[in-house]
Amino acid sequence: MRDVLTEWRPVVDDAIETLLPRDIDEAYLVEWFGPASHRYDPDAIQRALSDPIWDLLDRGGKRWRAVVCLLLLDGFGADPRAYLPYACIPEVLHNGTIIVDDVEDGAEIRRGEPALHHRFGPDIALNAGNAMYFLPLKVIGKNPADLDPETQLATYEMLMDELNRTHLGQGMDIYWHRNRDATVAEAEYLEMCACKTGCLGRIVARLAAIITDQPPEVEREVAAYAEDMSIAFQIGDDILDVESTIEGTTEFGKAFGNDIREGKRTLMVIHALSAADPVAADRLSSILHKPENTREEITEAIGILQSTDSIEYARECALSFSQSAREHLRDVPLDEERADQLASFTEFVIERDV
Amino acid sequence: MRDVLTEWRPVVDDAIETLLPRDIDEAYLVEWFGPASHRYDPDAIQRALSDPIWDLLDRGGKRWRAVVCLLLLDGFGADPRAYLPYACIPEVLHNGTIIVDDVEDGAEIRRGEPALHHRFGPDIALNAGNAMYFLPLKVIGKNPADLDPETQLATYEMLMDELNRTHLGQGMDIYWHRNRDATVAEAEYLEMCACKTGCLGRIVARLAAIITDQPPEVEREVAAYAEDMSIAFQIGDDILDVESTIEGTTEFGKAFGNDIREGKRTLMVIHALSAADPVAADRLSSILHKPENTREEITEAIGILQSTDSIEYARECALSFSQSAREHLRDVPLDEERADQLASFTEFVIERDV
C-alpha cells in the first residue's frame, strides 16, 4: 500500500501544480480564470493563494484521496493518467477543509508546523482555504477528459450534494463540542462522520464512477465503501489523538490532548459518557467543556475513557466499518489487483495518520 | 427604486426560507440533502446553520442582488416568480461572504449588531458562512424551473468561474492591506473590485440571462452592467466608510474609521498615496499599517485624503462606472420600464448602503 502511495504522490503533486502553479504569472491567471477586466496582480495572488497552499501541501499528507480515486479508475479499466486532474479535486478540497477547520478549531499545529492561520494570518489562510473549495471544480469545465455534458452535469451535482453535507457534519460537530447540554447519540456521531469526513471520501469514489460512466449501483457501492472507510478513518484518527497523548509522542503533529482540549464528542467520549458511573461521566463532561485544560485534567479524562474500555470499543467499531467498507467492494466489477489494494486501504487508514 | 425593493424583499425572504427554513426538521434535511446514512441531528443543524444565518438575514440588507435578478428576468419577458429560488442564489452567496469576510477582517460590527463570529463564535460563523457557498447551488440540481441539462451545466460553469474569481479578488485585497510594501495600481484596484464585488453582481446578471436562454452577447452585456455597477458600489461603499467617519454617524453599522483601521487600499488611498507630497503619503501609509489606530490618527488619515481631493476623485470614478454600467444596458432587449429601473439602480447603489 505504502508503495502505491509513494509511487503516485509526486505524480499527483505535479497534477495539482497544473491547477495551481507554485509560481503564479499573468498567463496562468488568464488561462485558468479568464482575462482580467482591468489588471490582475499576480504577485498578490502568488502570496495570497499559491504560497500558503503549497506551504501546507509540502508539509506532507499522503494524497490518499487522489490515489484511491486513481486506483478505482484503474480498477474500472480506465487509464488513470488520463483523469489525473479529476483525482486532484478531492485532494485539494480536503486540504482546503483542513485550513478552514484549523481556524474554526483554533488549532495551533498542523502536520508538525504552525497551523496556516498562525503562519500567514487568519485572513490569508481562510481565503486560501475557501479558494480551494472552488479552484479544483474548474477542472470539470476545463474538461480535460472530454466528458460529455451529461457526465459533467452529474459531476457537478454530485459535488454539490457532498459539499453541502460536509457542512452539515461540521456544523453538528462544532455545535456539540460547544454545548455541554447537547446529547449526542451514537447514530448521530456516525452521521457526523459520514457527512464531515465521509463526503470527501464519497467524492473520491463517485468521481471515479461518474467520469468513467459506471452504472448507478456501482457508484452507490463504491460511495458506500468510501464512506464507511472514512468513518473508520475518523474514528481511527480520534483514537490516535488519545493514544499519542497517552504515549507522549509528538510525531502525530498535534498538541497534547488536542481533542479533549477542544471538547470533541468522539465515539470514545460518547461511549464513556453512557458507560461510566454518573460521577465520572459528569467529571469527563466538565473537563471537556472547560475553556482550558491542564495536563492533569487531560490525563484524568483519558483515564475515564480507559476505565470504560471506550478506546477499545471505538477500535472495534472502526474495524467493523472497515470490514463493511470491504464488503461494499465485493460486487463491484474491479480489476483484481486493484480490488485487493482498495480493500487493504480500509486497514491502512485506521492504522496511521494519512 | 425603494418601492421595488420594499415590494420584493418579503417575497425573496420567503423564497430563501424554502432553501433554509427558520425551523429545521428531519423532513427538510432528508428532502434537501438526501436521506441520512445514520441519523441527522436537526437540533444541532438548527443551531449551527439556520439560527446564525437567519440572525444575519433578519438584520437587514435590501436583497438588491435578488431583486436585480428578478427585474432582469422580468425585463427579458420571463415570469420572475417562476425563477425565485434562482434569484436567491447570489443573495445567499453574498451573505455567506459577509460572514467570512468579517472573520477575515476581524470586524466587530455588522449591520449595527455584533459581527456573527462575535455572537456565535468563529467556528459556527465560519461554517455557516461556508455552508452558504453551497446551499443555494443545490437549486440548480433541484431544478424548479425545469431547465434543460445544457442550461443547468452552463449555470454551474458560470458559478464556478465567478466564485473562483471572487477569491482572487479577496486575496489581492487582503494581501495589499497586510503588506505595506505592496504597490497597488489603480487598474489592479479596479480588478480587485471586479473580482471581489463584481463577480457576485455578474452572477446576478448571468444567472438571469442563462436561465432564460439569452444569446451570449446579452449575457455579456448584462454581466458588464452588473460588474461596473458593483465597482461603483464598492467605491461608493469605501466613500461611505470615510464620510460616516467624518460626520460621526454610526448608522452605517460599522466601527469608526473601519477601513483605515483595517489598512484597506481603497481607491481614495491609492489616489492620495500618489497625489500627496512624500511626507504626507508616508504618514498615510504608516497610519494604515499600524496594528491599532487612535481616533486622532484616523482623523489625520482622512485629512490627507481630503487634502488631495481623493474622496472627490473616487466619487467621480464611481459615477463614471455607474454611467458605464447604464451604457452596457443600452443594446440589451429589455422591457422599457424594467430597463429604466435597472438603470436607476446604478445610481442607487452608490448613494446608500444596500
Q: Are strands B109-110 and A109-110 parallel, antiparallel or unpaired?
A: unpaired
In order along chain B (354 residues), what is the average pLDDT of each group of 10 residues?
A: 88 97 98 97 98 97 94 97 98 98 92 96 98 98 97 98 98 92 94 96 98 98 97 93 82 71 92 96 94 92 97 96 96 94 86 54
Q: What is the DSSP string of B97-121?
A: HHHHHHHHHT--EETTEE-HHHHH-
Taking each helix axis from N to C end, the angle separating A64-75 and A2-19, rounded to the nearest 10 degrees, works out to 100
**pLDDT reported for residue B313:** 97
Does position A252 have pLDDT exceeding 60, yes or no?
A: no
Is B289 an 8 Å CB contact of chain A? Answer: no
Q: What is the pLDDT of residues A84-126, one digit of tens each?
A: 999 999 999 999 999 999 999 898 999 999 999 999 999 999 9
Instruction: Count Cβ atoms below 10 Å from residue B216 Cβ, excluding itself.
Output: 8
Residue B27, C-alpha cell as written in the block: 423532513
- Rounded mean pLDDT of A113-141? 98
Is A26 an 8 Å CB contact of chain B? Answer: no
**pLDDT reported for residue B92:** 98
Q: How many residues does chain A have?
A: 354
**pLDDT reported for residue A325:** 97
Secondary structure in 3-state letters for chain A: CHHHHHHHHHHHHHHHHHHCCCCCCHHHHHHHHCCCCCCCCHHHHHHHHHHHHHHHHCCCCCCHHHHHHHHHHHHCCCCHHHHHHHHHHHHHHHHHHHHHHHHHHCCCEECCEECHHHHHCHHHHHHHHHHHHHHHHHHHHHCCCCCCHHHHHHHHHHHHHHHHHHHHHHHHHHHHHHCCCCCCCHHHHHHHHHHHCHHHHHHHHHHHHHHCCCCHHHHHHHHHHHHHHHHHHHHHHHHHHHHHHHHCCCCCCCCCCHHHHHCCCCHHHHHHHHHCCHHHHHHHHHHHHCCCCCHHHHHHHHHHHHHCCHHHHHHHHHHHHHHHHHHHHCCCCCCHHHHHHHHHHHHHHHHCCC
Q: How far is B124 from chain A (nearest CA, A)?
A: 7
**pLDDT reported for residue B351:** 72
Amino acid at B320: S
Residues 6+ away with beta carbon under 8 Å from A68: A204, A205, A226, A342, A345
**pLDDT reported for residue B354:** 40
Q: How far is B41 from chain A (nearest CA, A)?
A: 6
Separation of first and last alpha carbons in chain A: 12
Distance CA A218, CA A199 (A): 17
Q: How far is A333 from chain B (nearest CA, A)?
A: 24
Question: A134–B163: do the CB atoms touch at under 8 Å?
Answer: yes
Q: Which of A103, A137, A160 sits opposite B141 (nearest CB)?
A: A160
The chain-wide mean pLDDT, for chain A, equals 94
Residue B307, C-alpha cell as written in the block: 487634502
Q: What is the pLDDT of residues A269-299, one digit of tens each?
A: 999 999 999 999 999 999 998 988 999 999 9
Residue B203, C-alpha cell as written in the block: 452572477
Asked if the ipTM is above 0.85, the reply is yes
Residues 6+ away with beta carbon under 8 Å from B83: B69, B70, B73, B145, B208, B211, B212
Residue B272: burial class (beta carbons within 10 Å; 0-12, 13-18, 19+): buried
Q: How far is A308 from chain B (nearest CA, A)?
A: 24
Question: A172–B121: do the CB atoms touch at under 8 Å?
Answer: no
Amino acid at A108: E
Nearest CA-CA partner of B188 in A250, A28, A29: A29
Cβ contacts of A130 on chain B, cutoff 8 Å: 100, 130, 133, 167
Q: How confident is the model at residue A204 (pLDDT cuts 50, 70, 90)?
A: very high
Q: Which residue has the cell 459577509?
A: B98
Instruction: Count Cβ atoms below 10 Å from residue B291 Cβ, excluding itself.
Output: 6
Distance CA A345, CA A41 (A): 43
**pLDDT reported for residue A157:** 98
Grouping H, G, I as helix, E, B as strand and the rest as coil, residue B300 is helix
Is B174 an 8 Å CB contact of chain A? Answer: yes
Grouping H, G, I as helix, E, B as strand and the rest as coil, residue B212 is coil
Q: Which of B41, B123, B172 sits opposite A45 (nearest CB)?
A: B172
Q: Which of A37, A128, A164 sits opposite B135 (nearest CB)?
A: A164
Instruction: Count Cβ atoms below 10 Å from residue A292 Cβ, excluding itself.
Output: 6
Q: Which residue has the cell 485550513?
A: A99
Grouping H, G, I as helix, E, B as strand and the rest as coil, residue B296 is helix
Distance CA B122, CA A98 (A): 15
Cβ contacts of B191 on chain A, cutoff 8 Å: 36-41
Residue A212, C-alpha cell as written in the block: 468513467
Is A127 an 8 Å CB contact of chain B? Answer: yes
Is B314 an 8 Å CB contact of chain A? Answer: no
The full set of domains in chain B, from first to last, is 1-146 (1.10.600.10), 147-354 (1.10.600.10)
**pLDDT reported for residue A65:** 95
**pLDDT reported for residue A353:** 45
Distance CA B52, CA A168 (A): 14
Q: Which of B127, B138, B164 sits opposite A171 (nearest CB)?
A: B127
Is A20 an 8 Å CB contact of chain B? Answer: no
Q: Which of A121, A160, A191 sits opposite B40 (nearest CB)?
A: A191
Residue A263, C-alpha cell as written in the block: 471538547
**pLDDT reported for residue B353:** 45
Q: Which residues of B310-321 are buried (b: 16+ CB within 10 A; e: fewer)?
A: bbebbbebbbeb
Q: How confident is the model at residue A255 (pLDDT cuts 50, 70, 90)?
A: low
Instruction: Count Cβ atoms below 10 Å from residue B323 Cβ, excluding itself.
Output: 14
Q: Which helix (H) or strand (E) holds B221?
A: helix B216-247
Nearest CA-CA partner of A206 in A328, A336, A327: A328
- Rounded mean pLDDT of A69-80? 97
Amino acid at B212: T
Question: B134–A194: do the CB atoms touch at under 8 Å?
Answer: no
**pLDDT reported for residue A354:** 40
Interface test with A, best of B99, B158, B172, B189 (most A CBs within 10 A): B172
Does position A250 have pLDDT exceeding 60, yes or no?
A: no
Q: What is the pLDDT of residues B27-72, one digit of tens each?
A: 999 999 999 999 999 999 999 999 999 999 999 998 999 999 999 9
C-alpha dist (Å) from residue B145 to A221, B81, B200: 32, 10, 22
Question: A188–B41: do the CB atoms touch at under 8 Å?
Answer: yes
